[in-house]
Structure 1
């Protein structure tokens, strides 16, 4: 990973160097006005358009590299860190490069500035109305990227979805659930939802809801003792007295219970084993009651 990061940084520096060389060469030609510039006006026009793109793009690339380097040094991160702030800077850089490219095209077409401002205003208003959901997603995506509440790699729970954050784009957030499925959620939904960030907690909570017939007469205390024996083999993963059972609801024929287990640390494999052991024990308990 470190070698990949160093290789990527080397490519970024090489790209900046290439941009700088090409830009300085075009500036030299612009100042000295060689003969072929006069003989071929289209070459002069194309070179000017390239300068319109390369100049601002070069400045933004250098600023991005400085900001990312400063941010990593300030927080003492590893060079291969994946962070929301860096992700947000990369997205903004891509957006600005797209804007600079559009300006270069307009410069090549020699669009009048006043007419350009008027046209862009109309187009921007039309785009905002037509693609307002996409614009909202993009704005929410940038807000999420620069937030310290959610980070790449965090394990979150949002409604019926639970998983690890793999990526945050300008349009959506990508989660990987426990079945290794990719769940794509629009940023507007993420921004307006209640999210439990389990990675930011000191402990991990595992909860299981289940029903028991009222005829069985089982109390939360009995079920706690029963399930504590079931998870005794996982003492290294479960906190002392970390299993509790409480009553969620009482229906006509059954009681709804919730078993909550406090884990010492996040371990998806062990969490899955503990959940399976508890579910299996509850199924066997129900089956035993039915046979009796």
Structure 2
């Protein structure tokens, strides 16, 4: 990972160097105006468009590296860190590069950007209204990226969805659930939802709801003591006294219980193992009475 990150940084520095050389050559041509530069007006438009694009693009690339370097050194992160702030800076630079490229493209075709923007202001307003959901998603995505509430790699629960944050784009948040399925959630939905960030907690709560027939006569106290004995094998994973059973509702024939196990830290494998153990024991309790 570190080696690939160093290769990526090396490529970025090489691209900055190439951009700087091309920009310097184009500045020279634009100032001295050689003969071929004047003979071919279309070529001059191409060079001028490239000059307009490379200047801001080069500046943005340098600023991005400087800001990321400062951020990593300030927080004493590793060089291969994947962080929301770095992701947000990269997305903003991509947006600005796209805008600069559009302006350069106009100059390439000999179009005055000011006149073009003025001429299509009404159309632009209609387009913005049409794509307002995408704009909202982009804004919400940037807010999430620069927030310290959520980070790449965090395990979160959001409504019916639960999983690890793999990526945050300008449009969606991508989760990986316990079944290794990719769940794509629009940023506007994520921004307006109640999110439980389990990775920011020192502990992880495991909840299991189950039903027992009234004729069984099981009480919350009995079930709690019984499951505590079963959980002794997981003493290294379960908080001491962190297993409780409470009654959710009492119906005509059944009682709905909820068992809550407080884990010391998030461990998907152990959580799945503990959940299976509790479920198995509850099935055995029900089966023993039926037999």
The equivalent of 1:280 in structure 2 is: 280
The equivalent of 1:198 in structure 2 is: 198
The equivalent of 1:258 in structure 2 is: 258
The equivalent of 1:116 in structure 2 is: 116
**Over residues 193-214 of structure 1, what are the superposed CA-to-partner deviations in whole Å (9 max), with x where a residue is unaligned?**
1100000001111111111112
> 1:120: Cα distance to partner?
4.6
1:48-127 alignment runs, 5 A limit: 48-127=48-127
1:1-292 alignment runs, 5 A limit: 1-291=1-291
CA distance in 2, matches of 1:237, 1:137: 39
CA distance in 2, matches of 1:110, 1:155: 51
State which drifts further: 96-105 or 108-117.
108-117
* TM-score after normalising by structure 1: 0.97
CA distance in 2, matches of 1:175, 1:104: 37
**Large movers: runs of 4+ above 6 Å:** none
> 1:238: Cα distance to partner?
0.6
Relative to structure 1, is the Cα distance of residues 98 and 18 closer, same or farther in structure 2, using a 3 angstrom cutoff?
Answer: same
The number of residues matched between the two structures is: 291
CA distance in 2, matches of 1:260, 1:27: 68
- Structure 2: gaps (5+ residues): none
- Structure 1: gaps (5+ residues): none
> 1:64: Cα distance to partner?
0.5
> 1:104: Cα distance to partner?
0.5
Contact 2:248 2:256 in 1 (8 A): yes
